[in-house]
Amino acid sequence: MDRAQLADFLRTRREALQPEDVGLPRGPRRRTGGLRREEVAALSGMSADYYGRIEQQRGPQPSEQMLAALARGLHLSLDERDHLFRVGGHPTPQRHPRGDHITPGMMRILDRLEDTPAQVINHLGETLKQTRPAIALLGDDSRWTGLSRSVLYRWFTEPRSRLIYPPDDHPMHGRYFTARFRHAYSHGLPRTTEIVDALLEISPEFAAIWAEHEVTGVHNAPKRFSHAELGTLELHCQTLVDPGQSQTLLVFTAVPGTESYEKLQLLSAVA
**Same-domain check for residues 193 and 108:** yes
Structural domain count of the chain: 2
pLDDT at 83: 92
Average pLDDT, rounded, for the chain: 88
Percent of the chain whose pLDDT exceeds 90 = 60
Q: Is residue 97 part of a domain?
A: no
**Same-domain check for residues 110 and 16:** no
75 touches 107 (CB < 8 A): yes
CATH number of residue 122's parent domain: 3.30.450.180
pLDDT at 220: 66
Note down the domain range covering 173: 104-270
**Same-domain check for residues 195 and 110:** yes
- Over the stretch 46-92, which tens digit does the pLDDT of each residue have? 999 999 999 999 888 999 989 999 998 998 887 888 899 999 999 88
- Over the stretch 183-210, which tens digit does the pLDDT of each residue have? 888 877 778 999 999 999 999 999 999 9
**Same-domain check for residues 20 and 130:** no
Task: Identify the DSSP state of 247.
Answer: E
Rounded to an integer, what distance in angstroms lies between the CA atom of residue 198 and that of residue 201? 5
Q: Is residue 181 part of a domain?
A: yes
**Same-domain check for residues 58 and 164:** no
Rounded to an integer, what distance in angstroms lies between the CA atom of residue 156 and that of residue 148? 10
- Over the stretch 216-241, which tens digit does the pLDDT of each residue have? 765 667 999 999 999 999 999 999 98
Rounded to an integer, what distance in angstroms lies between the CA atom of residue 77 and that of residue 16? 13
Residues 6+ apart with CB under 8 A from 12: none
Mapping DSSP to helix (H, G, I), strand (E, B) and coil, where does residue 118 land?
strand
